Structure 1
């Protein structure tokens, strides 16, 4: 590929406008040599350093400037310090150019679901979204197909080969042409997970190489440790919330409580912290909260009282663990 076309492709990639085939090409290009990987990393640093809206034409000029500064290296070797210096100059020049531009901040519209509410949404491109309780989804008024997620959502993406759909959830970006998948990204949790139901998606964590998922697979990213894990998953357990189906397979009551709090808008308190470690096997298909509480009570010989939207669990006096 011609260098100018390559730099334009990288710019479009940073803007989220590349197709799946183009993403695969870029991934292969990065793997082809350490130099390619280093250049991509530096260009990504330029992109992130400004923390300002990115105009493709301006950034493409900056990328061309990088190409000019790094130049034709035939017959000579550029040291790492010179390479870094050239990139640093461009970071500064990009910042100055961006600050000289009119304000082009992206305007977003958004959906917000309340605790206890599963909110169905239809985006302007026809993509169907189910927003989990206590979640927020933002989408650009400009018609761009890159959306921002805080919380959890299930996506059924409208196909458009010329405009790939993307979900940005913190450091994790999901790119797809048309498929169904679940994304979970909560501020209180250090974990972000992408679970594919059908179709094919590419998941990228920060500047790491993108990972392609097949149906039945999910990728989990732990923001605290930086660990990335691809694995199979139980579809009912992960996506059941969309129809108020709760499936627990030897899950702790702490995990159960967190799911119930989200779906039923309650606060659950364990008077004895040891109760939180009790395990539960159960399947609740759109059951009322009091039914679920009775099952939990019977399973572990517990007692509970409900005060407003607070549920307090206690252990019976003769219960021993």
Structure 2
């Protein structure tokens, strides 16, 4: 299927002008983008797209095909694709005109995760995104990969493995921070609970900017942290072996703040820990947080580090 034809179908779908066969096809394509939770084998959206094209190419414009539509339309999902191929043959000229004349509105798609949930999303160009718990990304499914490849990290943390394309930059927007690459792997972290936005590079090279001002160019093992309050940034090296351990359900804290500790606990155990004591809020923690260890054992370890105590009120555990 020519890309502009596909885009015009998206436009018809978004404006509720698509018929049932078209709606079913587009719904199936959209659903595959947001159905995988680790460690399930990744869903290949590219292969699905190729399958759609193959179905259409294999559909010859014969009357015998038309006579069988009523039978195929009641069969399995593959039959819907075949019926839609016939529809495409009949309307190809009309759709070409629509593609030329219609100004396509963006078709935004939101992907998000909840407590203790991680998800891998395979993008149309072959790049992959692994999302941490309580994360959300936004993708324009119509314009993606036409020029630049743009993804917006609305919340949380995501690891990007970018397929190299020297003609099309891969851009991740996280509030005022923009990370631009051509082909590499890196993690962007932007939780509301934390003051800073961080960009950590695992392979290749990335450029980080804010409001068109460069914060620096990072290479393997380098990280930038940008304060959302002070608007200052700093660069440092990070541990490549443990930085993305959250993908396996573990977090290694190293001289981390109480806020970072609380976020790790929430992401892994879905438990909120808080403190009203400023002394405790300033304490630092070096310890692993893992799904392999029970919450009660982890809580005891947290308290033992600084000899603190805890009490539970509803879903909140107060440290004092």
Distance 1:224 1:293 in 2: 30
Distance 2:193 2:287 in 1: 25
Q: Tell me the residue number matched to 1:206.
A: 211
2:195 & 2:319 partners in 1: Cα distance?
27
Structure 1: tracts of 5 or more residues without a match: 1-100, 315-321
Per-residue Cα deviation, 1:266-318 (whole angstroms, up to 9, x for no partner): 1113364433333332124443322211211333333334455322334xxxx
Contact 2:178 2:210 in 1 (8 A): yes
How far apart are the structure 1 equivalents of 2:269 and 2:191?
17
Classify 1:156/1:303 alpha carbon distance in 2 versus 1 (closer, same or farther; 3 Å). Answer: same
* 8 Å CA contact retained: 1:222, 1:228: yes
C-alpha deviation, 1:237, in angstroms: 5.3
Are positions 1:180 and 2:185 aligned together?
Answer: yes
Aligned equivalents of 1:210 and 1:280: distance in 2?
Answer: 28
Q: Cα distance 1:126–1:266, how it changes in 2: closer, same or farther (>3 A)?
A: same
Q: TM-score with structure 2 length normalisation?
A: 0.59
2:304 aligned partner: 298
Partner of 1:150: 154
TM-score, structure 1 normalization: 0.59
Question: What are the Cα deviations for residues 129-156 of structure 1, in whole angstroms up to 9, with x where unaligned?
Answer: 1112111111121233211112211111
| Change in 2 beyond 3 A, CA 1:149/1:312 | same
> Does the alignment pair 1:133 with 2:133?
yes
1:237–1:247 contact (8 Å) kept in structure 2: yes
1:261 is paired with a residue of what secondary structure?
Answer: helix
User: How far 1:103 moved relative to its partner?
Assistant: 5.8
Shift of 1:124: 2.0
Q: Distance between the aligned counterparts of 2:211 and 2:275, measured in 1?
A: 38
Helix, strand or coil at the partner of 2:319: strand
Where has structure 1 moved over 4 Å in runs of 4 or more?
101-104, 305-308
Q: How many Å separate the matches in 1 of 2:260 and 2:194? A: 12
Give yes or no for the alignment of 1:234 onto 2:249: no
> 2:124 & 2:315 partners in 1: Cα distance?
36
Change (3 A) 1:170 1:102: farther
Take 2:175 and 2:278, find their aligned partners in 1: how far apart are those partners?
A: 32
**Structure 1 position 312 matched with structure 2 position 313:** no
What value does the CA root-mean-square deviation take over the aligned residues?
A: 2.5
Which segment is superposed worse, 224-233 or 178-187?
Answer: 224-233
| Alignment of structure 1 residues 1-321 onto 2, 5 Å | 104-142=104-142, 143-144=144-145, 145-151=149-155, 152-209=157-214, 211-236=216-241, 238-270=243-275, 272-286=277-291, 287-306=293-312, 309-314=315-320
The separation in 2 between residues aligned to 1:153 and 1:297, in whole angstroms, is: 30
Alpha-carbon distance between aligned partners in 2 of 1:307 and 1:195, rounded to the nearest angstrom:
36
Judge conservation of contact 1:119–1:131 (CA < 8 Å) in 2.
yes
> 1: CA distance between counterparts of 2:319 and 2:233?
36
Aligned partner of residue 278 in structure 1, secondary structure: coil
CA distance in 2 between partners of 1:186 and 1:247 (Å) = 17
Distance 2:194 2:311 in 1: 28
Number of aligned positions between the proteins:
214
